[in-house]
Amino acid sequence: MRKRTLGKSNLEVSETGFGCMGMSHSYGPPKDKAEMIRLLHAAVDRGVTFFDTAEVYGPLINEELVGEALEPYRGKVVIATKFGWEANPGDSGKWSALNSRPEHIRAVAEGSLKRLRVDAIDLYYQHRVDLNVPIEDVAGAVKDLIQQGKVKHFGLSEAAAQTIRRAHVIQPITALQSEYSLFFREPESEVMPTLEELGIGFVPFSPLGKGFLTGKMPADTTFDKTDFRSTLPKFSPENMKANYALVDVVSRFADQKKATPAQISLAWLLAKGTWIVPIPGTTKLDRLDENLGAANIELTTDEARELEEASSKVKLQGNRYSPFHEQLVGR
């Protein structure tokens, strides 16, 4: 697999990474640990060197899974994790409270290091911007961890352009992770031009629209209450039916290229810039192979533009998140 460098940093990763969240969090109950370890090993065998997790996934058990699975490959893979949440005593112990105070960052970094079984965290993202803590203080805390050798690179997730600029002054940002796909293109207006200007890499999560762009999800799909898509307005029954027009567009392009809709969706992201590294997630080996096959599909500039223009004509229905999570992004 080809490699890419995230922005102007020296952090080199496989051009397609692996989002590990769904193995333990958000998409139903945690999956079988031994099976997921085998899948992560298979990803490494296929050339994937970039793996994404977070302390809140599980919580904690996803970091433990990734740490155990990738311990034999220490020094050969890059593991990104995230800080910024804590248990909320007023909400039945759920991790629904933001906390990016410097003392909290220092404390939770130690826990992540132990769970990941590493001496230093390769890429440490603030998971969501905490308005109670100046972003300069957050960047400064991670800068201290970098100077101590406990963290190698600093990142932000779902931050607004101005927040990115402020943080970057204190500690250069290696990558921003945010949702981006043909199903959600909001970062194109302000965030992506800022990243390109500053030389910051972009790591799109949910590059397949939380599974929607695979074409494997019928328009009348309903989700179990353990699947967080059941709370997302875009995935309500009426909005799913309306939004399926986008899947039809992507599927037509896939047929032309003798590829799958998932592969076309990922190939489009890869064609957007060499500083962009998507991190599709899966719990199945055949889906892993399908996703990685996108790297073999070359979209010309004209083809990518044609796909964008056709996709833009579909008026997507529904907000991305519930009101609670909507307020946590883009700030």
The CATH number of the domain where 196 resides is what?
3.20.20.100
* pLDDT of 142: 98
pLDDT tens for the chain, 331 residues long, are 999 999 899 999 999 999 999 999 999 899 999 999 999 999 999 999 999 999 999 999 999 999 999 999 999 999 999 999 997 766 655 778 999 999 999 999 999 999 999 999 999 999 999 999 999 999 999 999 999 999 999 999 999 999 999 999 999 999 999 999 999 999 999 999 999 999 999 999 999 999 999 999 988 999 999 999 999 999 999 999 999 999 999 999 999 999 999 999 999 999 999 999 999 999 999 999 999 999 999 999 999 999 999 999 999 999 999 888 899 999 9
* pLDDT of 93: 56
Query: Is 331 part of any domain?
Result: no
Query: Is 245 part of any domain?
Result: no
* pLDDT of 96: 80
Three-state SS at 155? strand
Query: Is 136 part of any domain?
Result: yes
* pLDDT of 169: 98
Cα 220 from Cα 190, distance rounded (Å): 34
Query: Is 14 part of any domain?
Result: yes
Q: How far is CA 132 from CA 12, 84, 98, 109, 258, in A?
A: 33, 12, 9, 20, 50
Query: Is 321 part of any domain?
Result: no
* pLDDT of 94: 72
Residue where the block lists tokens 């990518």: 304
Residue 7's contacts (CB-CB under 8 Å, 6 or more residues apart) are 173, 174, 175, 195, 198, 199, 200, 201, 275
Q: How many domains does the chain have?
A: 1
* pLDDT of 272: 95
Query: Is 128 part of any domain?
Result: yes
The number of beta carbons lying within 10 Å of the beta carbon of residue 314 is 18
For 50, the domain range is 3-208+272-298
* pLDDT of 95: 78
* pLDDT of 62: 97
The residues that are catalytic are 57
* pLDDT of 89: 63
Decide if 102 contacts 71 (C-beta within 8 A): no
Query: Is 38 part of any domain?
Result: yes
Our CA angle for 93, 96, 97, nearest 5°, is 100
Query: Is 254 part of any domain?
Result: no
